[in-house]
Structure 1
Amino acid sequence: MTLQRIEHRAMHGGWQDVHEHASSSLGCTMRFAVYLPPQAATQKLPVLYWLSGLTCTEQNFITKAGAQRYAAEHGVILVAPDTSPRGDDVADADGYDLGKGAGFYVNATQAPWAAHYRMYDYLVDELPALIEANFPVTDARGISGHSMGGHGALTIALKNPGRYRSVSAFSPIVAPSQVPWGEKAFGAYLGDDREAWKQYDAVELIRNASERLPLLVDQGDADEFLQTQLKPTLLQAAADAAGHPLTLRLQPGYDHSYYFIASFIGEHIAHHAKALTT
């Protein structure tokens, strides 16, 4: 699979790049960002996948989070894909919470979305294969994300035991089947059968998870979406009932923004680095 590098910038002794490629899963051209810390010049390193939230592209995380400094410190490669398929032929909708920029990391089954919206397959199979074929990575993988991307990180890790050594999330949509963002997206992408929604719902998945991969979740208590869209207490209740290890930290004064992510991303990368290098 041919990659075209379209951005290449020195940062913290390494390189912040953006690549473009034709995606077979999504049937369109996709972009992803990859940060190669200085250690990558001489050795293979573990990789941390970052999934962004609604309206984002690959750019938000790499320009706002300040994660590269910590990735260079710990020797971790960062990969940040786009949040949905892109292109003139890709279905879209009015509003920010459905369509382009709002792929929700699922495989859509309903028209017109099913033609391109297969972000789950892209992230679980196609993108890692691409990364492992073209960059100096080991088989140690972690996954993290924010909001819609936090939902994606949790569900992908829970659905794929043994694939990831670490998982974390900022302000995740933990129970999309029970909140307006998820109900709108899942109804469109997956149809009216709510049983089909459970395969992409962290609260549902944790109940029968076959692997007890510890979850680290940070949530701001001043988040404007806390009570209506995020509801982390539902994840805590499900984890307690299932005996699943969860560290849920309610951070006082923080909102839903990248100011919040930038404040704690160093702790998250340290958390992943510990799991990925032991």
Structure 2
Amino acid sequence: MLAYDENNVLCEYEENSSIAVCSNCHKLYHRTVSEQIPGLREHEYDNCPYCGYENGSSMSYDYSNSKLTKKELKRLKKKSLLDVVVNYCHRQYITTTCDDCDHNSACPGTPCGNCKQCLEEVHYPSRYPLGRKDYECERMMHFYVCDYTAKYASEMLYLMRKSDAMMEIEKYHVLSIGCGACPDLMALERFCHETSPSKTISYLGIDINKRWKSIHEKIDTYKKSTVKKTRFKYWDAVTKDFTISDANVVVLQYIISHFYNTGQSNKLMHSSKNLWILL
């Protein structure tokens, strides 16, 4: 259920048969429905206890409506996709070690590894010519998600807020190339919650790295009023022939910097026609 919280922020809540959402103010309220006594029926109204809006009426049932407490709202509130993914990656990271490290010279730093240093090598290859070149370690990727996802999602959210075109779309059909842990989807979920309770998202993420799969499987289990459908393909977007005809939002997640870091800058101008169109 999508509804406003006590701070007037649109949020996702757990479904509950005794709780309704007002069609006018979009706040949650207790709604108890009981059958009227035959022969003593009267026209009863399902009025919102916050704004008084009439959400329905009946000659067969009585409505007993009341406001929810802050504690009840907090208990019903679902976590966002960002919370779900970061919490998952944190659990994975703290319960694993780098004992079976595949780093060229073993993990740098402490005996159990130093994922931040590994990421430094990936992000700045010119400084570390013998260092790790890509996201080749799942434990490092879990660390990466915990360390960077909120930053990347916030960058995208700021951009969405400035886009009139994004504001006008009601049903987002997203093609994300180089999707990784999907910070763009997390940002878009938040953007939808900020703008309208009717907005929905379907999402196709493409990434060449299959090591993201466990995180993608976690995202696939996350279905809500806003995030309707997610799919993932492990393709090379440069060589794979695919269509973007259904997409109304296309995201390139750090694709240009990836080509530069891996010495493939020439592919930015000599890629498949699909990717060239996106650039």
Higher RCO (CA < 8 A, seq sep 6+)? 1
TM-score under structure 2 normalisation?
0.28
Larger Rg: 2
